[in-house]
Amino acid sequence: MLELKGIYKWVNTGNNRIFLLKDVDLSVKPGEFISIMGPSGSGKSTLLNVIGMLDTFDQGEYNFLHESVHQLKVKQRSALYKQYIGFVFQAYHLIDELTVYENIETPLIYQNIKTSERKALVADVLDRFQIVGKKDLFPTQLSGGQQQLVGIARALIAKPKLLLADEPTGNLNSKQGEEIMSLFRELNREGMTIIQVTHSEKNAAYGSRIINLLDGMVAQ
Amino acid sequence: MIKNYFKIACRNLVKNKGYSVINIGGLAVGMAVAMLIGLWVYDELTFDTYHKNYDRIAQVMQHANFNGKTETQVANPALMGPELRNKYGSDFKYVVQSSWTGSHLLSIGDKHITKVGNFFEPDAPDMLTLKMLKGTRAGLKDPYSIMLSASAAESIFGKEDPINKTIKFDRSFDVKVTGVYEDLPDNTSFRELKIMMPWELWLIQNPWAKQMREPWGSNFSQTFVQIADNAAMQKVSARIKNAKLNNVSKEEAKYQWAVFLQPMRKWNLYNEFKNGVNTGGNIQYVWLFGIIGVFVLLLACINFMNLATARSEKRAREVGIRKAIGSLRWQLIKQFFAESYLVVLLAFVFSLIIVVMLLPLFNEIAGKKIGVPWANPLFWFFNLLFILITGLLSGSYPALYLSSFQPLEVLKGTYRVGKFASVPRKILVVTQFTVSVMLIIGTIIVYQQIQHAKNRPIGYTRNGLINLGMEPEIREHYETIRNELKNSGAIEEMAASNSPLTQVWNTNGGFEWEGKDPGMAVDFPNNTVSYEFGKTVNWKIKEGRDFSRDFATDSVAFIINESAADFLGFKDPVGKVLKWNGQPFTIIGIVNDIMQESPFYPIRPTVYHTSGYDNMYNLILKLNSQQNAKQSLSRIEQVWKKYTPNVPFDYKFVDEEFGSKFRAEERIGKLSSYFAILAIFISCLGLFGMASFVAEQRTKEIGIRKVLGASVVNLWRLLSTEFVVLVILSSIIAAPIAYYYLNSWLINYDYRIKISWQVFALAAVAALAITLITVSFQAIRAAIANPVRSLRTE
């Protein structure tokens, strides 16, 4: 599905070069559920963002579904991730001004999908996540767990091939966390490829493979 | 998608009520101002276009050399029309000789009504393309006819058909109504004319006009023409240059009369001449207000941009999310434009409401009768253009700026508006306040100039003076009436004079004196006054003495004003001889200059003499200061009605007539002060919004500082300093620009103020004070907030 080869990312401060990612190799097959772990500052989120094409890297190759991401222009890259990648954030990042329904609908709008089709798709997802009753509420009217549920629904609405989650349970209590994680497991079983960043061993255990990062390097 | 954009935009508006009010309100006020000014400019630019032949109509005017200076006048000899018709006939389609515009008494039975009108030659209705409601445009062919405007016809005859009805005209002639025309609209030069009479009738009414010794030497009428369809205005104008000079005597030729055509297109906007050059006129105000309109609108747009970018940190997260879930930049640009257009549309609706509400007031101030041209497609076309441009202007910066955020930075929370992000915002605030300060300075200077002219010595006492027209019966019983009024205690004194105190009706040439340059042609205002004129108006004799009934020789004596004394160049003028048309007059006194004309220009050398009452058309009465004016007036009316029962008692206070000399300037002063207030209001709205966002942005900083022991005053200073610096900078930029423009405005006036630096200081202080008040509200609110709460928001 995707392959990283010798990825480096650095920032220069004065004469020093600080490496955020150092010679990272990673290959992900379709249907995997990978957990990236590591202490604070080890580069977990940076790696996830590089994979999600939200961030760039300075050296190395990145192939995503037979496209060479490192050779793509910004526009092509955003077209690519728009189509294949869904994001889930620790802080949910729902748009406060939009209702649950509209938040979920927004990615479809950006993909120029027709209204009738949008309605059907959103209705499906609402139904599946059992939040039909909440569709007209605004994010601030929901609990954290519910907000994250909406966040996941929004990430999945455009039927991505890859779901990226940056500490999806970080802001939730343990019960809510468990619910989210079991949802992830269920999605994975249905064939969704998932990469999550997490601090918690317990959450990592939901995945099929664990990658440990330390100072920007994959620990063997 | 558009629907989605608007939905979000609406929610944003509702959610941030304060922000929306400032934004929409400010923009609506700005748009309303721009729209009012737009209507005004349109009105000015379409002046006189009511007449279909607008492009081919012209007034015959003359340049001449008076007292060594080139002056320009509209007055023409009555022979000008016939001359043009006979000798240059192929150049003209119509030539129309006309009288001055004056009031005339129309009587039907016991009903007496005064209406304003002109006497025209018969082609006038065709030339002016009058819209005839009844009768035809051929209505001025018979000398004893009259044409009425629709409003005049209604006020005289009500619902009756006026055609062929007979009216007693000025109590002396029976004239027949031959036509009724639609009233001329307010933005035409002939708007005042409610009645039109044949020029032939004027000649009958004024037989002296045909019996003059030198008919080419006296300018007492006007000439209008419409050039031939194939003729060119410039060429015809050049061709008729000597139309008068060819006909005048050698002595008269010294004035170097040069005839030319002033096209109707220029009557209103280019009405000023200096040294024989058409220097402009109202067009300068069209430009001035046009620029102000654009600026005020710009200020409002700047507010929008400023507030939008000031809120950028709040919106940044949303931009980040949208980009992370797949929005392209141009989609965000569209979204922000949708928001700005929604605001602009709402503001437009409000601005229409404001315009409709303010139009009556605006018309009053501007002296116009403008309506909103709802049915005019041009109006809507401009509005559409206006909305498009305003939306583009106000939406472009936020749209382009906000959409450029990098999603990752924003979402990680590491995003901070950069050090220089506020620079464009600061530039915008400086622009706003530069304009506001300039308008404040402008308003002060215009008022100073008006005040300056009002305080100018006028050479007489205006208090309690009234002016009345002199009817033949009054002239006949002059002495009796004077005694009767004086004895009744209604007046202190009464005088007759050729001109009213606030105008010059008569000027004469033909003066000779010792030491005069023989090649120079002079022209002095020459006022015929009764013996008591000086006493009535309380003029100040500087040297010599006043007219007196005790000296029989006073019928060949002049009293001259100071300017005349200077101009004549006598060392000791009293007792010297001034010849007028060969006849010697002795100068018996010098009076302080009496301001009869414009308060902004030098007073012309003027002579006063006394003779029979035949040449006196005005009565000046000094009301008894010991008695209630109302009582005195009713007493005067009683006496009046005794002698002229059929003439309305129509008096004018000299004070008011004097005040009307300032109307144009006062209008400009008032308009510019209102615009200044609006500009400041809009700028303050923006400032208020900005200050509140800055305070919000720095909430945490303020909390920390407070915990560390900062006082409210410290914090207030911290939050206000930035704005104060910007406003000071604006004042510094505004001063030279304002100086330049006001100086070139003041140059139009011969009698003018000097611009003092204090005005600039005052404007700067005013702007600063307003800024501080605006900003402090937010600053103090932020400063007195409980720090525990603000720190917890992290």
Listed range (B182-196, B234-248, B712-726) with the worst mean pLDDT: B712-726
Mark yes or no for CB contact B317/A82 under 8 Å: no
B483 has a chain A CB within 8 A of its CB: no
Q: Where are the beta strands (DSSP E) in B138-172?
A: 145-149, 166-169
Number of domain units in chain A: 1
Q: What is the three-class DSSP state of B181? A: strand
CB proximity A114 to B under 8 Å: no
Residue A139 forms contact with B (CB below 8 Å): no
Higher pLDDT, A8 or B303: A8
Nearest CA in chain B to A89: B411
Of B318, B320, B326, the CB nearest to A82: B326
Rg (CA), chain B: 34
Chain A residues in contact with B412 by the CB 8 A cut-off are 45
**Chain B CA closest to residue A109:** B1
- Does the pLDDT at position B506 exceed 70? yes
Across the range B614-643, mean pLDDT stands at: 91
Chain A CB within 8 Å of residue B17 CB? no
Closest CB to A89: pick one of B15, B328, B411: B411
* ipTM field: 0.76
Structure tokens at B242: 């000597």
Interface touch B11/A97, C-beta < 8 Å: yes
Rounded distance, CA B390 to CA B131, Å?
40
The pLDDT of residue B426 is: 83
Please tell me if residue B411 touches chain A, with a CB cutoff of 8 Å.
Answer: yes
Whether A56 and chain B come into contact, CB under 8 Å, resolves to no
Is B290's pLDDT higher than 70? yes
Q: Does A113 touch chain B (CB under 8 A)?
A: no
The mean predicted confidence, pLDDT, of chain A is 89
For residues B682, B685, B691, B695, the Cα torsion angle rounded to the nearest 10 degrees is -160
Chain A / chain B CB contacts < 8 angstroms: 53
For the cut 90, the answer to whether the pLDDT of residue B210 exceeds it is no
Residue B794 has pLDDT above 50, yes or no: no
For residue B408, which residues of chain A lie inside 8 Å, CB to CB? 49, 54-55
Chain B contact set for A46 (CB, 8 A): none
Tell me the residue range of the domain where A76 lies.
2-219
Asked if the model's pLDDT at residue B420 lies above 70, the reply is: no
* From A55, A94, A158, residue closest to B408, measured CB to CB: A55
Q: How far is A207 from chain B (nearest CA, A)?
A: 24
Q: Is A82 on the interface with B (CB under 8 A)?
A: yes
Q: Tens digit of pLDDT for each residue in B430-465?
A: 988 898 899 899 989 988 998 898 899 999 999 899
| B331 closest CB neighbour out of A45, A55, A110 | A110
Question: Would you kindly state where each structural domain of chain B is located, as residue ranges?
Answer: 1-47+282-417, 54-267, 426-456+662-794, 465-661
Using the beta-carbon criterion (under 8 Å), do A97 and B8 form an inter-chain contact?
Answer: yes
Long-range contacts of B710-715 (CB under 8 A, 24+ apart): B712/B780, B712/B783, B712/B784, B715/B779, B715/B782, B715/B783
Pair B567, B610: CB distance under 8 Å: no
Residue B218 has pLDDT above 60, yes or no: yes
For the cut 50, the answer to whether the pLDDT of residue B737 exceeds it is: yes
Residue of A11, A106, A111, A116 to mutate when probing chain B, most B C-beta within 10 A: A106
pLDDT at B212: 84
Task: From B117, B86, B112, select the one nearest B99 (Cα to Cα).
Answer: B117
Residue A169 CA to residue A176 CA, distance in Å, equals 8
Check whether B675 has a pLDDT greater than 70: yes
* Helix ranges (DSSP H) in B226-373: 233-239, 250-253, 264-267, 283-310, 312-324, 329-366
Classify the phi-psi angles of A43: left when phi > 0, otherwise alpha if psi is within -120 to 50, otherwise beta: left
| Strand extents, DSSP E, B630-721 | 651-653
**What does the pLDDT look like over A115-161, one tens digit per residue?**
899 999 999 999 988 899 999 999 989 998 899 999 999 998 988 99
Q: Please determine, for residue B417, whether its predicted confidence score (pLDDT) is greater than 60.
A: no
CA proximity to B779, closest of B718, B697, B704: B718
The pLDDT score that the predictor gives to residue B715 is: 82
What pLDDT does residue B250 have? Answer: 85
In this complex, the residue of A45, A87, A97 whose CB is nearest that of residue B325 is: A87
CB contact under 8 A, A94 and B12: no
Partner-chain contact B317 A93, CB within 8 Å: yes
Q: What is the pLDDT of residue B321?
A: 84
Q: Is the pLDDT of residue B419 over 70?
A: no
Query: What's at B262, amino acid-wise?
Result: Q
Closest residue in chain B to residue A155, using alpha carbons only: B325
pLDDT reported for residue B134 = 94
The helix (H) or strand (E) run that includes residue B501 is: none
B12, B321, B326 ranked by CB distance to A93: nearest: B321
CA distance B565 to B549: 24
Residues in A touching B407 (Cβ below 8 Å):
54
A137 inside 8 A of chain B by CB = no
Residues of A in contact with B320 (CB under 8 A): 93
A54 contacts B325? CB cut-off 8 A: no
Q: Which of residues 336-395 of B touch A (CB under 8 A)?
A: none
Q: Determine whether the interchain pair B326/A110 forms a contact, defined as Cβ–Cβ distance below 8 Å.
A: yes
Tokens of A173: 């209590």
- From chain B residues 298-317, the ones with a CB under 8 A of any chain A CB are 317
**Residue A110 touches chain B, beta carbons under 8 Å:** yes
Give the closest-approach CA distance of B793 to chain A in angstroms.
Answer: 16
Residue of B nearest to A163 (CA): B325
On chain B, the residues whose CB falls within 8 A of the CB of A54 are 324, 407-408
* DSSP-derived 3-state class of residue B435: helix
Residue of A nearest to B329 (CA): A75
Report residue B325 as tokens.
């879930």
B179 CB-near residues (< 8 Å, 6+ apart): B125, B132, B134, B135, B136, B137, B139, B147, B148, B163
> B582: alpha, beta or left, given left = phi > 0 and alpha = psi -120 to 50?
left
pLDDT averaged over every residue in chain B: 89
Residue B394 has pLDDT above 60, yes or no: yes
Task: Indicate yes or no: CB of A54 within 8 angstroms of CB of B407.
Answer: yes
Q: Do A93 and B408 touch (CB under 8 A)?
A: no
Task: Using a CB–CB cutoff of 8 Å, tell me whether B320 touches chain A.
Answer: yes
Q: Is A88 on the interface with B (CB under 8 A)?
A: no
pLDDT digits (tens, 9 = 90+) for B75-111: 999 999 999 999 999 999 999 999 999 999 999 988 8
Q: Which residues of B touch A75 (CB under 8 A)?
A: 328
| Residue-level pLDDT at B793 | 46
The whole-number pLDDT of residue B405 equals 79
Q: Do A102 and B321 touch (CB under 8 A)?
A: no
| Percent of chain B with pLDDT strictly greater than 70 | 97
Q: What is the mean pLDDT of residues B278-297?
A: 87
Within a 10 A sphere around the Cβ of B417, how many other Cβ atoms? 15
Confidence of residue B791 (pLDDT cuts 50, 70, 90): low
What value does the CA radius of gyration of chain A take, rounded to a whole number of Å?
Answer: 18
Residue spans of alpha helices (H) in B89-247: 124-127, 150-157, 199-205, 233-239
Q: Is B161 helix (H, G, I), strand (E, B) or coil?
A: coil
Whether residue B57 has pLDDT greater than 90:
yes
B322 close to B409: Cβ distance less than 8 angstroms: no
Least confident piece of the model among A25-39, B163-177, B257-271, B276-290: B276-290
A154–B325 C-beta distance less than 8 A = yes
Residue B98 identity: S
Residue recorded with tokens 């979000």: B8
What's the rounded Cα separation, in Å, for the pair B412 and B435?
A: 41
Cβ–Cβ contacts within 10 Å for residue B285, how many? 21
Give dist(CA A137, CA A127) in Å, integer: 15
Q: Are B218 and B506 in contact (CB under 8 A)?
A: no
Rounded mean pLDDT, B410-421: 61
Greater confidence (B233 vs B367) lies with B233
Query: Using CB atoms, which residue from B320, B326, B412 is nearest to A111?
Result: B326
Return the amino acid letter for B697. Q
Q: What is the CATH number of the domain that holds A107?
A: 3.40.50.300
Chain A nearest C-alpha distance from B407 (Å): 7
Q: Tell me, what's the pLDDT at B242?
A: 94
Number of residues that make up chain A: 220
What is residue B105's predicted lDDT score, i.e. its pLDDT?
92
Are residues B696 and B778 in contact, defined by beta-carbon separation less than 8 angstroms?
no
Q: Are B162 and B152 in contact (CB under 8 A)?
A: no
Tokens of A212: 């440990």
Q: Would the CB atoms of B321 and A94 count as touching at under 8 Å?
A: yes
